[in-house]
Structure 1
Amino acid sequence: MELRTLRYLVEIAEEKSINRAAEKLYVSQPTLSRAIQALERELGFAVLERTNHGVSLTTLGERFYYYAKSVVGQLEAIEKLRADRQEDTRSRLSVSVAKLILKDDMMLQYRTALSAAHAELILLETTQEEAVLNVASLRSEIGVITANSLQLQAIRRLLEIKELELELLAECPLCVHLSADHPLAAQKEIAPRDMLDCVYMHLPYDYFANLNYMNQMDGVQLSDFKRTITINNYHAMINMLKHTDAFIFGNRWQADELRKGSVATLPLEGVDIAVSLFWVKRKKELLSAEALCFLDLLRKNYGFM
């Protein structure tokens, strides 16, 4: 199996067209077709099927594509490393983060730890489901996620389907975040029923967020909150917390960072819901030096039980 053929397949899969892939690769369409046919004979199964809109991956072809893209990407990184001069090295890392506001200090630590002259860190703040899918589709190398015990069971099933794995870092009780000036912030803990007149703020719903409607918090369900705000940006969420009576459910790992923005973190009275912090990656894939550096800092900053 040749690396060139893997490059061909990756380009065809992403372009969804043999003709467009041929144009980008500067090879003829028959050359691509013959290469894919030879690959399918070698594998013993079809990787592409024709559709009204071009070509698409078969079920097995999609799984093979993820491995092929990973191999191509890592070999290209090796080639680039060999070609780069030491004083002009570059690094790139994409991380999907779900339901966790990362410490600014950790980002500074990451930049300081890198020897590259040019560093690119792409943080995609998103939902739990999207974080998992981003890693599965190679949009992100790793995902950092928090989830309650009910969500974690479902996430584990999805990870198995997508051939991903996780490492559990820490666990804590569910908390609530609200403005330090909020009347309820003076209490040692907050009962969910005390917040029914406040605005419940959350990220856009996905499959795992919808599972929360099955959770009871001392007799209160999410559907009992009649005033809600949906925001897909963490910094906008923090600003809303500071200046309104809104609140979010969260965790203790982001308490220090939120405190800098005058946002308080309190435990929930009478609520026995645990939140787990973990990271995910693709199975059997070697992580880049950048990802290993990021994970080392993640464990140092958050890896306490």
Structure 2
Amino acid sequence: MQLQQLRYVLEIERTRSMNKAAKNLFVSQPNLSSAVNNLEKELNVQIFNRTNKGVEVTKDGKLLVQYAKSILGQVEQLKKAYGVEEKKHVNFLEISQTGMLHLTPVISKIYNLLKDSRVQIIIKEDNLGAVIKHLYYMKSEIAIIVMNTTQLSLIEKVLDKRKIEFNILDKTKLGVAVSPKSSLYNRDQVAFEELDKLTYIEYLKEKDLSVNQDSELLDIWSKFVGNTIHATDRETVSDLLWNLDSYSFDIEKNIEYLKKRGLKFIKLQENIDMYVGWLKRKREPLSYEATLLVEELTKNIRL
């Protein structure tokens, strides 16, 4: 149980309308309904009856409203006792992404558009499986992913079961990023079997290799991969590329980003397609902030 859920209950009880309460609370109606449903499941009670005329409070709901008012009243007294000022409303935009796509220009643009309305943007980077879980368990509102054709066919059933929709922005090609230290630097193309001679620098967010995005790629072509160094932050990956005869997987969409860092993108002869897209929960409208993000993604990523 969270205090925010109790505040939601009181606002719904006051307005007797889910839509009005959502508007007053600056949240989407589906998110509000989900929060209340989760509280009902946790307490094993029905708080509201939804009718054509609006929302009615049940007998159990009336008791909960009394408790909520008491609890929140005590919280306010506690804040006043210790001189804690009530913070102004802040809008949150929580984004999960799989990495391999550098979104700094897009995030900077929407932040500049939203900063006057008090917004906090939270970006969480993880492997593909974890990103889908973030979305399903409402830890993020939207997810931005890059995955290969094999991954797409594998997760379609997972997304459908979890009522998550995948919106494809574009297709791009898988390749490798190298620094001038690499023996591949002057090449325009490379075959997988040639990579065995170099050290693979893997950007890894979790120790569980079986679910990491790059590792799923390597499960298919593992016989072509030689020595590997796993790094959990981008700076280390970049430093290693600059100090070793090595490579890291990347996508063609990132060519300009790589150039700015003195790195080069080299195509793979195998011509492997990668999909770039975004995920959202079905039947749940995006917030204004997330809608802006999608618009900017479309402008900047789609060809």
Deviation at 1:297, TM superposition (A): 1.0
Task: Summarize the Cα distance change of 1:298–1:200 in structure 2 as closer, same or farther, 3 Å threshold.
Answer: same
Mapping for residues 251-262 of structure 1, pairs under 5 Å: 251-262=251-262
Say if 1:94 and 1:140, in contact at 8 Å, map to a contact too.
Answer: yes
Secondary structure at 1:109 match in 2? helix
Deviation at 1:256, TM superposition (A): 1.3
* 1:129-183, Cα deviation, whole Å (9 max, x unpaired): 1111111111111111111101111121210111100100111221111114422
Say if 2:97 and 2:126, in contact at 8 Å, map to a contact too.
Answer: yes
Q: In the alignment, which residue of structure 2 is the partner of 1:145? A: 145
Say if 1:99 and 1:250, in contact at 8 Å, map to a contact too.
Answer: no
- Counterpart amino acid of residue 113 in structure 2: A
Q: In the alignment, which residue of structure 1 is the partner of 2:232? A: 232
Secondary structure at 2:190 match in 1? coil
Say if 1:169 and 1:302, in contact at 8 Å, map to a contact too.
Answer: yes
Match among 206, 211, 217 for residue 212 of structure 1: 217
Quote the Cα distance in structure 2 between the aligned partners of 1:132 and 1:235: 25
Q: In the alignment, which residue of structure 2 is the partner of 1:283? A: 282
1:108 aligns with 2:104: no
Mapping for residues 135-284 of structure 1, pairs under 5 Å: 135-202=135-202, 203=204, 204=206, 205-207=209-211, 209=213, 211-213=216-218, 215=220, 221-269=221-269, 271-284=270-283
Quote the Cα distance in structure 2 between the aligned partners of 1:103 and 1:244: 27
Task: Summarize the Cα distance change of 1:235–1:137 in structure 2 as closer, same or farther, 3 Å threshold.
Answer: farther
Task: Summarize the Cα distance change of 1:214–1:207 in structure 2 as closer, same or farther, 3 Å threshold.
Answer: same
* 1:6-38, Cα deviation, whole Å (9 max, x unpaired): 65653576xxxx6xxxxxxxxxxxxx5xxx344
Say if 1:89 and 1:116, in contact at 8 Å, map to a contact too.
Answer: no
Quote the Cα distance in structure 2 between the aligned partners of 1:295 and 1:102: 15
Quote the Cα distance in structure 2 between the aligned partners of 1:235 and 1:91: 30
- Counterpart amino acid of residue 274 in structure 1: D
Task: Summarize the Cα distance change of 1:278–1:263 in structure 2 as closer, same or farther, 3 Å threshold.
Answer: same
Task: Summarize the Cα distance change of 1:262–1:170 in structure 2 as closer, same or farther, 3 Å threshold.
Answer: same
Quote the Cα distance in structure 1 between the aligned partners of 2:201 and 2:105: 26
Mapping for residues 86-125 of structure 1, pairs under 5 Å: 90-125=90-125
Mapping for residues 53-92 of structure 1, pairs under 5 Å: 90-92=90-92
Secondary structure at 1:93 match in 2? strand
Task: Summarize the Cα distance change of 1:38–1:122 in structure 2 as closer, same or farther, 3 Å threshold.
Answer: closer
Say if 2:40 and 2:46, in contact at 8 Å, map to a contact too.
Answer: no
Quote the Cα distance in structure 1 between the aligned partners of 2:40 and 2:49: 18
Question: Could you state the TM-score of these two structures normalised by the residue count of structure 1?
Answer: 0.68
1:10 aligns with 2:9: no
Quote the Cα distance in structure 1 between the aligned partners of 2:138 and 2:116: 23
- Counterpart amino acid of residue 98 in structure 2: A
Deviation at 1:257, TM superposition (A): 1.2
Say if 1:196 and 1:226, in contact at 8 Å, map to a contact too.
Answer: yes
Quote the Cα distance in structure 2 between the aligned partners of 1:123 and 1:41: 37
Quote the Cα distance in structure 2 between the aligned partners of 1:179 and 1:298: 28
Quote the Cα distance in structure 2 between the aligned partners of 1:208 and 1:150: 14
Deviation at 1:115, TM superposition (A): 4.9
Long gaps (5+) in structure 1: 19-31, 43-87, 216-220
Question: Could you state the TM-score of these two structures normalised by the residue count of structure 2?
Answer: 0.68
Quote the Cα distance in structure 1 between the aligned partners of 2:46 and 2:104: 50
Q: In the alignment, which residue of structure 2 is the partner of 1:300? A: 299
Task: Summarize the Cα distance change of 1:251–1:40 in structure 2 as closer, same or farther, 3 Å threshold.
Answer: same
CA RMSD in angstroms comes to 2.8
Q: In the alignment, which residue of structure 2 is the partner of 1:72? A: none
Secondary structure at 2:140 match in 1? coil
Quote the Cα distance in structure 2 between the aligned partners of 1:187 and 1:38: 65
- Counterpart amino acid of residue 114 in structure 1: L
